[in-house]
Amino acid sequence: MKIAMGNDHTAVELKEAIRKHLEEKGIEIIDLGFNGTGSCDYPVYGEKVGRAVVDGEADLGIAICGTGLGISLAANKVKGVRACVCSEPYTAKLSRLHNDCNVLCFGARVIGVEMAKMITDIWLESGFEGGRHKRRVDMIMDIEGR
């Protein structure tokens, strides 16, 4: 399993904590995020993570900014991306089961490290249920073609 991670300046520490957590489980991380000092622009990193997922370089993506909103909006502009901001486990689980979410987004200014790790674990353990949910996800993806 390979996961592409991306983040802006608000989320360097949270990205590192999640990266370490996942690497300890044997998951390979492709770090496409900001690691410098000062500030940067989150759309760059949302797009990078989205492209890594739809191009098949990574199986799934995790993108983090201050709220999770900006970076998810950017990732969702990449055709084939279904990025969801999750701040608690129930939504994270359902984002996989029903929405086939392929990019998990966090707000580093919203949730703590332990909650983010728990959400990540539950998200990774959950799989798409298909069936009626596939029809609906297909309807979402059809919007990209119009």
Structure tokens at 61: 């993506």
DSSP 8-state secondary structure symbol assigned to residue 65: E
Buried b / exposed e along 103-114 (16+ C-beta atoms within 10 A): bbbbbbeebeee
Nearer Cβ to ligand RB5 (10/102) = 10
Which spans in the chain are helix H?
12-23, 42-54, 69-76, 89-97, 113-125, 132-143
Kindly indicate which of the ranges 16-24, 63-71, 78-86, 112-120 contains the residues binding ligand RB5, using the contact rule CB under 6 A: 63-71
Kindly indicate which of the ranges 21-29, 62-70, 81-89, 90-98 contains the residues binding ligand RB5, using the contact rule CB under 6 A: 62-70
Given 6, 46, 50, 70, the residue binding ligand RB5 (CB under 6 A): 70
Instruction: For residue 137, count other CB atoms closer than 10 A to its CB.
Output: 17
44 contacts ligand RB5 (rule: CB under 6 A):
no
Kindly indicate which of the ranges 20-28, 52-60, 61-69, 79-87 contains the residues binding ligand RB5, using the contact rule CB under 6 A: 61-69
Phi-psi region of 80 (alpha: psi -120 to 50; beta: other; left: phi over 0): left
7 contacts ligand RB5 (rule: CB under 6 A):
no
Q: Is 65 a catalytic residue?
A: yes
Residues belonging to the active site: 65, 98
Residues that bind ligand RB5 (CB under 6 A): 8, 10, 42, 65-67, 69-70
